[in-house]
Structure 1
Amino acid sequence: MNQRFIELGEGYSDIFELREIIERNQDRLEHLLLLKTEINGKSRCSFVVILKPARTGDFQPVYICKEGIPYEENKPSQRILLFQEAAANAHKEIIGLQVKSSKSFADDKLYYQYLIGILRMNRYILPLHW
């Protein structure tokens, strides 16, 4: 099974694109994640949308808005509220995970391998041989 991260930005237009992916793929929607991390002493988060694999092929897309969203537990930003609203409309719970920052890795490829390992270990994505 080939799982690959498809990176979006962290601006409002990217959040609206992520919401559109959620809305248009109701039958394939597997999980919604909020990955919390710390960068330079500031709490940040990423939004992740995991879809079920396509009917044909060996590919499972994982969309991400990576680490650009400020995160405060008691004071959610407008982008977090938009993501929560999309989750509610899709009748999905947002799964929160604490992860290392991408800055802890030499490049994004290693960071995404780290996340794939976490997602597989927690059974949020399919194992290699499915």
Structure 2
Amino acid sequence: MIQRFIELGEGYSDIYELLEIARNNPHRLTHMIAFHSSAGDRSMTSLAIVLSPTDPGEFQPIYICREGIPYPHRTPNKRFDLFKETAEVLNRPIIEMDVKPSSAFTETELYFQYLIGILRLNHLLAPLGR
């Protein structure tokens, strides 16, 4: 199975695309995730949705808006509220986790591999070899 992040942007206007993907794929939507991170004095959140794998092809997309949303538990904001409202309508909990910021990695792809590892360890993605 191929599991890959698809970055839509930083969560400004592209969050509407993320929410539209979730709303139009309720049969494939498996998780709605908020990755919280801090870099220096800046706390930010990445919003992501995980869809079930395609059949055929076994490709599992993880759509993400990376680190463009202020940490919602300190600075309430409309973008996180929209994500929360969509999760409620689709009857999905938001899984929140603290992670390292992408700036801790030399390449974005390494950051995404780090997140995939965390998701696998938490049984939110299937392990390799399945």
TM-score (norm 1): 0.95
> Hey, what does 1:111 align to over in structure 2?
111
CA-CA distance at 1:58 after TM superposition: 2.1
- Deviation string, structure 1 residues 41-93 (Cα, Å, up to 9, x no partner): 11100001000001211210000000111114154211000100110110000
SS at match of 1:4: strand
69-78 or 48-57, which moves further after superposition? 69-78
Q: Which consecutive segments of 4 or more residues in structure 1 shift more than 6 A?
A: none
Letter in 2 for 1:53: P
Measure, in 2, the Cα distance between the counterparts of 1:69 and 1:75. Answer: 10
- Secondary structure in 1 matching 2:43: strand
Corresponding position of 1:36:
36
- What is the aligned partner in structure 2 of residue 26 from structure 1? 26
Counterpart in the other structure of 2:92: 92
Distance, in Å, in 2 between the alignment partners of 1:58 and 1:11 is 27
Q: Distance in 1 between matches of 2:100 and 2:69?
A: 15
TM-score (norm 2): 0.95
> Take 2:103 and 2:9, find their aligned partners in 1: how far apart are those partners?
16
